[in-house]
């Protein structure tokens, strides 16, 4: 049983490193793409001369008016 742990434990660690590497590289690629998109949107806004009222808010969608 002890001899099996010399193979099992490093094997599990290597698998964990590989999975972490894959997930980390995907997250980094997505973050880089998001940053590029933000820069392009910011450049388009500055080029278009959008004012403060044209900027989207973080409030989310406005619910429809209710009738009483």
**What's the pLDDT band for 58 if we cut at 50, 70, 90?**
low
- The DSSP output letter for 54 is G
pLDDT at 31: 94
Percent of the chain with pLDDT over 70: 72
Top pLDDT among 65 and 50 is at 65
- Please work out, in degrees rounded to the nearest 5, the angle formed at the alpha carbon of residue 41 by the alpha carbons of 37 and 46: 150
9 by DSSP, 3-state: which? helix
Percent of the chain with pLDDT over 90: 57
Q: Name the percent of the chain in helix, strand, coil, to the closest 5.
A: 75, 0, 25
* Predicted confidence (pLDDT) per residue in 21-40, tens digit: 999 999 999 999 999 999 99
């Amino acid at each position: 049983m002890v001899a099996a742990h010399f193979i099992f434990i490093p094997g599990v660690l290597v698998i964990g490193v590989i999975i972490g590497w894959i997930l980390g590289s995907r997250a980094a690629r997505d973050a880089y793409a998001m940053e590029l998109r933000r820069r392009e949107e910011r450049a388009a806004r500055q080029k278009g001369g959008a004012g403060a009222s044209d900027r989207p808010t973080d409030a989310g969608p406005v619910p429809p008016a209710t009738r009483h």
